[in-house]
């Protein structure tokens, strides 16, 4: 098995990180979604830079135990404005907010929870930013909220969002929330920058997102075939670097796509075999067959009440146009994601250490 790079929560280092923020003890960085893969990585990066970090976590979140002592942890909920008041209370300090908290789902239909967190929660964060005169807001959106371009045309950053034209309620919620941020820039002169990651994966993904689940299913022998399509996912550590860079280098009211190379399903399956020593899966179902199976899975999930991963929306995300233009982020945020294969190797290494897979047995 290919060994991965060291990752995870980091102690404050003596050497500054590349493109490190200047250390300013008069600035407090507020990170929502501190226990998530991206939120925790952003916090780790800020700690490496020697910054003061305050994180927001839900009551009862077991992942809160992994938040390092250097982070001032607040229990609260973005859907509850009253719980945000102490989170934003920092007399005499400049506040910078990185809003990572969101609910991600592979189900395309309406979800009250998705609406409450992704839309109303973002509105509450914006209101708190305006009330406390924060210096900067960095909002973590999603390329899922951007209207898809035809296959063969790279997708670029929009100047406004059209929620009704995107696929899936999650995409609708992220498009709606991003437009709320842009409206606050226009109407209230809020200094806000938006970043739009494609897929997020890498070590320390204790939410076990789509790529991690894909790896686990493969190593468990549950992946008998792939669906014709592709992946576009970025190492969470590189996303954290770009998100932190957006604090100083991101322009007001501008958005930045944070994407990676497009990796086809056969390429992904070949990498998995090479990195784990497991058998290569060579059966690739046509996109049309995958969509039929996805709709069938939707029905099974609705009848059984059990969560289903390979939904029609999950199939859509594989078969959609996954070509994204990140040149703006490269030029302005110094965004330079490591190769997909390297992050895949690091993620496999981490899952192996966590006991979630046995790469050698695979």
Any domain includes 276:
no
Banded pLDDT at 181 (limits 50, 70, 90)? very high
pLDDT at residue 61 tops 90: yes
- Specify the pLDDT at position 361: 55
Answer whether residue 344 is part of any domain. Answer: no
pLDDT at 309: 78
Q: Is residue 77 part of a domain?
A: yes
CB-based contact 237:17 (threshold 8 Å): no
Please state, in angstroms and as integers, the Cα–Cα distance from residue 307 to each residue in 152, 297, 301, 304, 310, following that order: 33, 10, 6, 9, 10
Number of domains in the chain: 1
> What is the pTM for the complete model shown?
0.91
Question: How far is Cα 347 from Cα 243, in angstroms, rounded to an integer?
Answer: 21
CA distance linking residue 320 with residue 168, whole number of Å: 12
pLDDT digits (tens, 9 = 90+) for 122-162: 999 999 999 999 999 999 999 999 999 999 999 999 999 99
65 within domain boundaries: yes
Per-residue confidence at 24, pLDDT binned at 50, 70, 90?
confident
Residue 50 lies in a domain: yes
313-362, pLDDT tens digit by residue?
Answer: 999 999 999 999 999 999 999 999 999 999 999 999 999 999 999 866 55
Task: Taking the CA atoms of 275, 339, 207 and 50 in sequence, report the sign of the dihedral they define.
Answer: positive
Tens-place pLDDT, residues 153-169:
999 999 999 999 999 99
Q: Does residue 331 lie within any of the structural domains?
A: yes
Range of the domain at 31: 27-207+233-260+321-338
For residue 96, being part of any structural domain is answered with: yes
CATH number of residue 136's parent domain: 3.40.50.720
CA atoms of 36 and 107, how far apart (whole Å):
20
What whole-number distance in Å separates Cα of residue 130 and Cα of residue 126?
Answer: 6
Asked whether residue 272 is domain-assigned, the answer is no
């Amino acid at each position: 098995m290919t060994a991965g790079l060291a990752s995870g929560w980091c102690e404050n280092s003596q050497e500054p990180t590349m493109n490190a923020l200047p250390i300013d003890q008069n600035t407090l960085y507020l990170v929502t979604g501190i226990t998530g893969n991206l939120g925790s990585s952003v916090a780790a990066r800020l700690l490496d830079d020697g910054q003061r970090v305050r994180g927001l976590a839900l009551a009862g979140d077991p992942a809160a135990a992994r938040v390092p002592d250097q982070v001032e942890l607040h229990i609260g909920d973005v859907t509850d404005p009253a719980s945000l008041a102490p989170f934003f209370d920092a007399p005499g300090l400049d506040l910078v907010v990185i809003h990572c908290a969101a609910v991600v789902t592979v189900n395309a239909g309406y979800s009250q929870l998705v609406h409450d967190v992704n839309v109303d929660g973002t509105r509450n964060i914006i209101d708190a930013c305006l009330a406390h005169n924060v210096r900067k807001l960095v909002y973590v959106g999603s390329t899922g909220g951007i209207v898809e371009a035809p296959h063969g045309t790279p997708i670029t950053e929009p100047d406004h969002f059209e929620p009704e034209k995107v696929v899936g309620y999650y995409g609708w919620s992220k498009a709606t929330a991003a437009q709320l941020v842009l409206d606050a820039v226009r109407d209230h002169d809020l200094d806000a920058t938006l970043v739009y990651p494609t897929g997020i994966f890498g070590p320390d993904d204790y939410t076990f997102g789509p790529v991690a689940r894909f790896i686990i299913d493969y190593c468990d022998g549950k992946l008998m075939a792939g669906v014709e399509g592709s992946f576009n996912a970025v190492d969470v550590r590189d996303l954290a670097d770009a998100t932190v860079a957006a604090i100083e280098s991101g322009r007001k009211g501008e958005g930045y796509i944070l994407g990676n190379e497009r990796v086809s399903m056969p390429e992904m399956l070949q990498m998995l075999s090479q990195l784990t020593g497991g058998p290569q899966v060579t059966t690739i179902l046509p996109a049309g067959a995958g969509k039929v199976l996805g709709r069938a899975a939707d029905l099974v999930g609705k009848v059984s009440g059990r969560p289903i991963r390979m939904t029609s929306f999950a199939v859509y995300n594989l078969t959609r146009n996954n070509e994204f233009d990140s040149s703006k982020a490269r030029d302005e945020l110094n965004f330079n994601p490591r190769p997909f294969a390297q992050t895949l190797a690091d993620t496999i290494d981490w899952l192996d250490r966590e006991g979630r897979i046995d790469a050698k047995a695979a």
